[in-house]
Amino acid sequence: MEIQYKRNDISFTRGTFRVRGDTVEIFPASSSENAIRVEFFGDEIDRITEINTVTGELIGRRNHISIFPATHYATTEENVQRAVVSIKEELAERLKTFESENKLLEMQRLEQRTNYDVEMLQEMGYCNGIENYSRHINNLQPGMRPFTLLDYFPKDFLMIIDESHVSVPQVRGMYNGDRARKTTLVDYGFRLPSALDNRPLKFDEFEKIINQVVFVSATPGPYETEHSQNVAEQIIRPTGLLDPPIYVRPVANQIDDLLNEIKKSTSKNQRVLVTTLTKKMAEDLTAYFKNTGIRVRYLHSDIDTLERMEIIRDLRVGEFDVLVGINLLREGLDLPEVSLVAILDADKEGFLRSETSLIQTVGRAARNVDGRVIMYADKMTGSMDRAINETNRRRKIQDEYNKQHNITPQSIIKGVRDIIEATKAAEEEKHYKTKDDVKDVNSYIIELEKEMRKAAENLEFEKAAHLRDQIKDIKIQNNIALVVE
């Protein structure tokens, strides 16, 4: 109980224990499928065994075991008691402040919540949101830097920051984002002011605590450029691949031109990425391409991570040929099958069309020997010019190296499962439905149409729209004429 395990004789899950006569079974928080059975003879331990929590199978006897706390917020009773005194003192001061400002609702809310948390700490040694009292528990002064994982590293540790052009600004912005959210909680009596000290590091605090850093990025930002003592460019690829050539074409008739380019790539069994500026445009473009017979899907921020990985997997294996996106077709995508990247409205200067964004997007076509990039624009912006010049600079270095060493560029060969290795077990059992699995397509469509109309009658319009799109996809895949209603 002191290390935050809860007794539950019905639902045996991680962080719980159950008692059966003279036997106590503990499901360690650090285990995923095995539990510890401790058998007593009176007040003495008679035997310790490890068991499977599902089958109850005996795995083996143990002479000793280590059971770690169920939550990493566990601390000693002395720390808790000292913190309780400090919390009560801060509460009294804060209540006086609210009373003087005539904020009676906030005063009552804070008093009720804090007193409940204090009682939980005294009785259980833990309460929900205990991290908001970390300043009191760690006996720190107001405004002091909180303890972090970096404090546990040795003095000579090496930090490697991947995609540093994104990661470093995120570290810089973490404190302000956290502060803005918690200030509201403090002002309205949901938390004590000490909750503000349970926070991410300020950027200057982060700089002081790190030792030596390697920034890794294809597009390093100003901070990395200014603070790097040594810069190493990894431009030459083992496969001899060059950065893709970039073509700039006018915006007029850009969709028709893109459609022709897509057909050229798909005829060679290659894939295409298309990046737009808005979610609405991505949806409309996807619908237009579907109506022309192109197998297409679009990727946006509303799709969760696992489904996003599944979409990318389907693109690679050829379930569809074109993927339309906004800001997700950049860092981290390694798709050797993609030979064309199309950037619509490339001359709309901004975050999505900055030099960094353009270079990152262009890099998605650098895994295929036939890779190329088309930017649709009516004018040459500064970001476009810098991105094109940087890409051409790299291409020149790569080409000269290949000629000197007689290297013939080759596309990257990469297994599809590599991109989602974490879900390999689930993938092996998953069956992806194709048109061959539908024995009677017409009957299946009729069933879906019935469901669609029923959903519309029940005012479930999102479900009806999803079924409508599903029917349209099936008709396209099976070459069934679409009826426009």
- Residue 9 to residues 29, 124, 418: CA-CA distances in angstroms? 16, 19, 42
Q: What is the per-residue pLDDT across 444-477, written as a single tens digit (0 to 9) for each?
A: 888 888 888 888 888 777 788 888 888 887 877 7
Kindly state the tokens that stand for 416: 């599809």
Lowest mean pLDDT among 35-44, 217-226, 288-297, 301-310: 301-310
For the domain spanning 246-405, the CATH number is: 3.40.50.300
For the residues 147-158, what does the mean pLDDT come to?
90
Q: What is the per-residue pLDDT across 241-289, written as a single tens digit (0 to 9) for each?
A: 899 999 999 998 899 999 999 999 999 999 999 999 888 888 899 999 9
Q: What is the per-residue pLDDT across 391-423, written as a single tens digit (0 to 9) for each?
A: 999 999 999 999 998 988 887 776 665 444 443
Predicted structure pTM score: 0.65
CATH architecture of residue range(s) 6-62: 2-Layer Sandwich (3.30)
Query: CB of 194 within 8 A of CB of 142?
Result: yes
For the residues 154-182, what does the mean pLDDT come to?
91
Handedness of CA 176, 179, 181, 183 (dihedral sign): negative
Q: What is the pLDDT of residue 328?
A: 62
The span from the first CA to the last CA of the chain, in angstroms, equals: 65
Strand partners, 342: 274, 374
From the list 322, 326, 320, the residue with the least C-alpha distance to 281 is 326
Q: What is the per-residue pLDDT across 320-364, written as a single tens digit (0 to 9) for each?
A: 999 998 876 666 677 888 999 999 999 998 888 888 889 988 988
- The Cα 465–Cα 287 span in angstroms is 13
Q: What is the pLDDT of residue 420?
A: 43
> What percentage of residues in the chain have a pLDDT greater than 70?
90
